[in-house]
Structure 1
Amino acid sequence: MRPLTVLTPAEVVSRLLHARSVAVVGASDDGNKASGRTLRYLLRYGYRGAIYPVNPRRERVQGVQAYASLADLPEAPELAVIVLPASGVPEVLRQCGEIGTRVAIVFASGFAEVGPAGARAQEELLAVAREAGVRVLGPNCVGAVGASAALTAAFMTGLDQDRFELKDDGVAFVTQSGAMGAFILNMAQSTGLGLGRFFSTGNEADISLPEVIEGLVEDDSTRVILGYVEGIRQASSFRAALKRARDRQVPICLMKVGRSARGATAAQSHTGSLAGQDVVYDGLFEQYGVFRATDVDHLLDLGRILASGQRACGPRVSIVTLSGGAGVLMTDAADDFGLEVPRWDDEWAGRMAAVLPAFASVRNPIDTTGVIASDQQVLRDAIDVCVQHPGTDVVMVMLGNMEREEDALCRILVEAAATSTKPIVVVWVGGSGRPVESLAAHGIATFPEPVRAVRAVAALVRWSARSGGAAPQSSSLEGTAEISAHGGADAGGVSDLRILDEVAAKKLLHDHGIATVPEQEAQDPAEAVAAAGRIGYPVVLKLLSEEVAHKSDHGLVRVGLPDQESVRRAAEQILGIADRMGVGDRRLVVQALVPSNTELILGMRRDPVFGPVVALGIGGVLTELASDVQVRVPPLTAADVESMVDGLRYRAVLEGARGRTPVDRKALTETVLRFAQLVTEQGARLDSLEINPLLVDGDGRPVAVDALAVCGVEGRDYAEV
């Protein structure tokens, strides 16, 4: 057989959504069985391509002509859906390759998710598929759905309903959980959201979540991509897909589960995924502009608002409601989510008063009162004034109940949205529930609860600001220093890890352009006194040893020594403690005292999924009170560093709060960028690197005062499974 050209991610996605012919291998005549549902759904939803049931025991399956094998088909189908048990899958994949079918979906479970034996079976499946030139979605998945072609290559019961016909609003959904994905697809279509591109990736033996995202991004008709993520196996592919989405300005919204330690363990056992540390996902999502959903409603709300394709020029919201209480609730929520509800001035309050009853509230939020139940034109006039108002970026309309008036009010809202130059977002609480779906059909984002609507508008504002600017560029800082071959002590008993002493670690930092404290090494108390004289009092004295990582925990640090005698006594005491501890490598380091009232921590650690990551946090006493850290995955840009600083909860301490010295933001950004470049260059040889503390000196510039580096074997890096 002639070698086949490898399908690109875009081609794979296109086959799964738009295949013009489908073979269902193992199709049952009983449409209620799992093996019979795919064919039943294809017929039920009106798939317009050729359908080929493959069943050697029947001439017809569910009324459709059947075939004994793939070799008997009149053509090579563009997609094969394999509904057989696990044992029968490899042979069918071989047959797919022989006839030229390039993409297959495997529903069967019993592979890597069940343990070592299943993992071996999955490896066999993948080997057969690669030899045959067939791309595989699954195994252990529920399939794919392309609504525009009515291609329901799935067996999930969420398609057993009579409430909706599948529609496609350009909303795509990729899920690593088949059941949760099925629930979410049904919820979306039931509430009028055209989630019409659905992919369950299952065990991801071949086609992975990152590849599906990449393929969707290349499709110009994709408006927004949603995802349910349990864990990422291919970190570099995931980052590349997110970067491509950012560059093409396709919004991505992910619900990443496994946030808790116990949840991460459950995710690993469920799909064989490596969940990684959740804070790293937060940082990565921030880097690439990914929205993180906290629950299913939030995920679908993000899809609803971003699929509208609208843009908000700013965060200023005008609220039109028939309830003063609802206006207060939404104003509170706006403050929580970073939006503004500006009070209107006299001129514009007067314009609003001209179209509302005399007893209405006209300053924003605008309470039209219940008069709109009998006079819908009042609502239209109020919306028009809001759209014309120069201080309004988004108009939010909050209604409720009024089932008799639903149709008339929906017509008003559709007319207003059609002529508006600004986004109009609707909240409709109670009533029949029909307006949510009815307005969605006209592209009007509508929500059943006010706080959810405000949260969604905040996301729209953030996306509008992001998509209006150019993608950040990577740092071009130069750095050539390497880790020298120090013969250090083992770290934590791990024979292939070495601790660099503090002076060696700071030399590494200094060689990469990071400011470090002036210091000198000493072998005994006399040399320490001489070094202190050269540096100038007051000084800091520490044990210098590759055998002790955290010196302060053992009383091996003295701060603010004012004269020769204090240095001599401190040196004798420190060396005595080290001797009693059995430390063989006993040296001293004398440092200049850096006056500072602000401490930071800047560090690198190795994440099991994404490899070396950079963390910036508030240090000192605040570290003990509350963990305040931001994490990003290098390489970093200046924008990444700025977002790290802005994301710190206690960033006010860096801005001069309570008489502190304000940090030089430019200098801090450069320090973090240089640190990140060091990590990028040396990450394969470092297991961890930490500056603690990174002090802010009297000029606001960051200075590395203490550092710890743990080195591993070169080339030891995170796994790309």
Structure 2
Amino acid sequence: MTSDLRAALDPSSIAIIGASENPNKIGGRPIDYLKRFGFRGEVYPVNPKRTEVQGLRSVPRLADLDAAPEMAVVAVPGDDAIRALDECGEMGVKVAVLMSSGFGEMDPVGGKAKERMMTERARARGMRIVGPNTQGLANFGTGAIASFSSMFIEVEPKDGPVGIVSQSGAMSVVPWGLLRARGIGVRHAHATGNDADVTACELAMAVAADPGVELLLLYLESIRDPHHLAEAARIARKRGVPIVALKSGRTGAGQSAAKSHTGALANEDRVVSAFLEQHGIWRAEDNAGLVEAAELYLKGSRPSGRRIVVVSNSGATCVMGADAAVAHDLSLAPLSDGTQAKLRAILPAFAATANPIDITAALLTNSSLFGQILPVVAEDPAADAVFVGIPVSGRAYDVEAFARDTARFAQETGKPVVLAAPQRLVADAFEAKGIPVFTGESAAMRVLHQFIAHHELIARAAARDEKQEPIDPPAGESRLLDEAESLARLAAAGVPVVPHRLCRSAEEAVEAARAFGGPVAVKGCSSGIAHKTELGLVHLGLADEAAVAAAFAACEAAIAAAEAPFAGVLVAPMTKGRRELVLGAHRDPVFGPVILVGDGGRYVEAMPDVRLLLPPFTREDVRAALGSLRLAPLLDGVRGEPPLALDPYLDAAAAIGRLMSEPGSRIDSIDVNPILVGARSEDCVALDAVVVERD
């Protein structure tokens, strides 16, 4: 646990500044919770108008206490809150939970300035601030409930293996309530508010290190300290703790709402997704996605692949289960001949045994069928996970035996198992045995996909497992390199580029075309122009000397008309290939270098089919990213075409990742479009490039 945040999660004593006798007020509810939920430390109400608050001795000022509490809850408004923070710092408080509002979330200029001032003064005195505008912190493992959430009254708390860290107060307890409704205990439910000092990402590091936490859920509206989140993910991976994050603000409207909510700064959404994937964090779509796989995570299963076996007593459920599996990128491989022979010896002759397995209505007369067939299924290579569907059952069925046998199978094999059962009678029996239950096939398969794909992400992140430090972007004015300089910079880094010559006269251009011996491309070269086609600076397929000379003159005139510096023209042989791809990079102000891979050509902006990667990454990471795109089937060859030779492209992407990440790199952005690929490794060449760097 981060040493200076121990007092945030496990304080030995807590003062409440602005303490109220009324347990339904912000200054009263923490006192009520601390007494109600078993906090063993000292509680010190601070209220200048009362000598006793909720049965506890109250003092007029914090300084009237004999010793400094480790934590102070500040529940007074405006400037009184600022003065209270100063008193806390002078007294030696380690963590102040600032519930007061009216700071950066209301005033992005003056309010944020106050937050910076409070943070600087607190840190100078060795104190950390959670908030302002926070609902508070709640640790049900210790009873340290420094929160005013009403949810803890509405739903009975229970300590458990889940931790929740949120920038939003509501979203620190909404998933808490959803989990508690499913009988899952939650240890941590923390809200950091405006993140003026302690951020949700930093607090996540401390929660991830708690030995009692087995699953960590995050709600984020902005990420301004990704190195803390990366470290939280690294800590969690080492402990085997999955992290699921709901990052809101995917749209412009959502980002605007976030600014007015917690004063958050919007992060570019595609970069956020790439960052979370890089560090093995599953990104949920909504509240349901944040919690719906919790039971499966907490079972401790470790999936070995994406092959699913569907088992049901209904042919229709078998069909719908198969459809749902494929829709969620899972596969149903046929069971081996040996497995099917064993199943036929158990099941009626009219049962289906290939996968899906249709037990049929024979289940009604033989309640042991689940117990007999599941061990057989477990031995088959096609059974990475099992889906059980029981659409209809009742008192004539031994549902308890079904649940008992399925639970024993899950426990003994460690394979992920989910159930789809709309009937409450069936669901209750299986839930009591610890089997994750869903009402339909699609929901069950969606969760299986999340669970399996998430563990694949975690494994890839663990293979890299590099500690991420904060990245300082290069200073200075940005400068656009002309195409000749850009290609030279990329070639030096290991990116294959088209053969070319920079020519400063028509005669040099004609001589270059003659040397290349065939149709050539002639392109105007200027450090003041990034996009050449729109200005008529690209001339293709020139086969005679007169055309080359005319193209030189046209480029020189067009660049002069644009009032840009003229560096000459590039002459390059026309090159053939099968597919135009793109490679790009830019330096995100928060996340650092971001690399773009995917389909290229002139329509890349109109019909984007690309993925983002954050260094460090491997060639296989690039291959996997391409495999997730719409163009993926074309990479393997279609209609008799040979596969594309991707290895040089993968190497080029890795080279650009290194170029952007190397210490002292001053490159701001790279645009290589197109980079041509074909069926042979030598067919991969960058035809055009734009590099922007800092002086």
In structure 2, the CA distance between the partners of 1:388 and 1:498, relative to structure 1 (3 Å rule), is: closer
Q: How far 1:523 moved relative to its partner?
A: 2.4
In structure 2, the CA distance between the partners of 1:383 and 1:35, relative to structure 1 (3 Å rule), is: farther
Give the corresponding residue for 1:705: 687
Give the corresponding residue for 1:619: 600
In structure 2, the CA distance between the partners of 1:387 and 1:113, relative to structure 1 (3 Å rule), is: same
Q: How far 1:519 moved relative to its partner?
A: 1.2
SS of the residue aligned with 2:604? helix
- Whether the 8 Å CA contact 2:17–2:45 is kept in 1: the answer is yes
Give the corresponding residue for 2:586: 605
Give the corresponding residue for 1:90: 82
Instruction: Give the letter for the 2:447 counterpart.
Output: A
Give the corresponding residue for 2:609: 628
Superposed, which structure 2 residues align to 1:281-292 within 5 Å? 281-292=272-283
CA distance in 1, matches of 2:221, 2:639: 43
SS of the residue aligned with 2:681? coil
Instruction: Give the letter for the 1:319 counterpart.
Output: V
Q: How far 1:572 moved relative to its partner?
A: 3.4
Q: How far 1:599 moved relative to its partner?
A: 0.9
- Whether the 8 Å CA contact 2:301–2:414 is kept in 1: the answer is no
Instruction: Give the letter for the 2:484 counterpart.
Output: V
CA distance in 2, matches of 1:668, 1:174: 40
Give the corresponding residue for 1:486: none
- Whether the 8 Å CA contact 1:185–1:195 is kept in 2: the answer is yes
CA distance in 2, matches of 1:45, 1:232: 32
Q: How far 1:583 moved relative to its partner?
A: 4.9
CA distance in 1, matches of 2:622, 2:664: 19
Q: How far 1:567 moved relative to its partner?
A: 1.8
Q: Does 1:426 pair with 2:407?
A: no
Instruction: Give the letter for the 1:156 counterpart.
Output: S
SS of the residue aligned with 1:623? coil
- Whether the 8 Å CA contact 1:474–1:637 is kept in 2: the answer is no
Superposed, which structure 2 residues align to 1:463-474 within 5 Å? 463-465=454-456, 471-473=462-464
In structure 2, the CA distance between the partners of 1:416 and 1:570, relative to structure 1 (3 Å rule), is: closer
Q: How far 1:602 moved relative to its partner?
A: 1.0
Give the corresponding residue for 1:273: 264
Q: Does 1:305 pair with 2:296?
A: yes
In structure 2, the CA distance between the partners of 1:601 and 1:388, relative to structure 1 (3 Å rule), is: closer
- Whether the 8 Å CA contact 2:306–2:331 is kept in 1: the answer is yes
SS of the residue aligned with 2:194? coil
Instruction: Give the letter for the 2:685 counterpart.
Output: V
Which whole-Å deviations, capped at 9, do the CAs of 1:614-668 have from their partners, x for residues lacking one? 1112112663662111112234333433333333331333333456664433322
- Whether the 8 Å CA contact 1:157–1:182 is kept in 2: the answer is no
CA distance in 2, matches of 1:579, 1:455: 58
In structure 2, the CA distance between the partners of 1:244 and 1:429, relative to structure 1 (3 Å rule), is: same
| Length-normalised TM-score, structure 2 | 0.89
Give the corresponding residue for 1:398: 389
CA distance in 1, matches of 2:428, 2:407: 11
In structure 2, the CA distance between the partners of 1:502 and 1:72, relative to structure 1 (3 Å rule), is: same
Q: How far 1:242 moved relative to its partner?
A: 3.3
Give the corresponding residue for 1:129: 122
SS of the residue aligned with 2:671? strand
CA distance in 2, matches of 1:434, 1:62: 44
Give the corresponding residue for 1:103: 95
- Whether the 8 Å CA contact 1:276–1:607 is kept in 2: the answer is no
Q: Does 1:540 pair with 2:525?
A: no
CA distance in 2, matches of 1:406, 1:85: 57
- Whether the 8 Å CA contact 2:649–2:677 is kept in 1: the answer is no
In structure 2, the CA distance between the partners of 1:470 and 1:570, relative to structure 1 (3 Å rule), is: closer
In structure 2, the CA distance between the partners of 1:436 and 1:27, relative to structure 1 (3 Å rule), is: farther
Give the corresponding residue for 1:5: none
In structure 2, the CA distance between the partners of 1:674 and 1:139, relative to structure 1 (3 Å rule), is: same
CA distance in 1, matches of 2:522, 2:192: 57
Instruction: Give the letter for the 1:426 counterpart.
Output: L
Instruction: Give the letter for the 2:692 counterpart.
Output: V
In structure 2, the CA distance between the partners of 1:496 and 1:313, relative to structure 1 (3 Å rule), is: closer
Instruction: Give the letter for the 2:197 counterpart.
Output: D
Which whole-Å deviations, capped at 9, do the CAs of 1:131-164 have from their partners, x for residues lacking one? 33222211111112212223322111221225x4
Q: CA RMSD in A?
A: 3.1
Give the corresponding residue for 2:18: 26
SS of the residue aligned with 2:293? helix
In structure 2, the CA distance between the partners of 1:427 and 1:25, relative to structure 1 (3 Å rule), is: farther
CA distance in 2, matches of 1:131, 1:373: 72
CA distance in 2, matches of 1:506, 1:395: 52
- Whether the 8 Å CA contact 2:82–2:118 is kept in 1: the answer is yes
CA distance in 2, matches of 1:430, 1:391: 29
| Length-normalised TM-score, structure 1 | 0.86
Q: Does 1:677 pair with 2:668?
A: no
Give the corresponding residue for 2:113: 120
Task: Note the residue ranges of structure 1 that are not aligned, 5 or more in a row.
Answer: 1-8, 476-482, 484-494, 714-721
Superposed, which structure 2 residues align to 1:163-178 within 5 Å? 164-169=156-161, 171-178=162-169
Q: Across the two proteins, how many residue pairs are aligned to each other?
A: 683
CA distance in 2, matches of 1:698, 1:468: 31
Q: How far 1:203 moved relative to its partner?
A: 0.8
In structure 2, the CA distance between the partners of 1:436 and 1:207, relative to structure 1 (3 Å rule), is: farther
In structure 2, the CA distance between the partners of 1:321 and 1:26, relative to structure 1 (3 Å rule), is: farther
Give the corresponding residue for 2:131: 138
CA distance in 2, matches of 1:270, 1:612: 29
SS of the residue aligned with 2:317? helix
Q: How far 1:109 moved relative to its partner?
A: 1.0
In structure 2, the CA distance between the partners of 1:647 and 1:277, relative to structure 1 (3 Å rule), is: same
In structure 2, the CA distance between the partners of 1:662 and 1:434, relative to structure 1 (3 Å rule), is: closer
Q: How far 1:394 moved relative to its partner?
A: 1.6
In structure 2, the CA distance between the partners of 1:30 and 1:502, relative to structure 1 (3 Å rule), is: same
Which whole-Å deviations, capped at 9, do the CAs of 1:579-598 have from their partners, x for residues lacking one? 55555526222112221121
Superposed, which structure 2 residues align to 1:491-640 within 5 Å? 496-583=477-564, 585=566, 587-620=568-601, 623=604, 626-640=607-621
Instruction: Give the letter for the 2:488 counterpart.
Output: K
Task: Judge which range, 68-77 or 249-258, deviates more.
Answer: 68-77
CA distance in 2, matches of 1:633, 1:463: 18
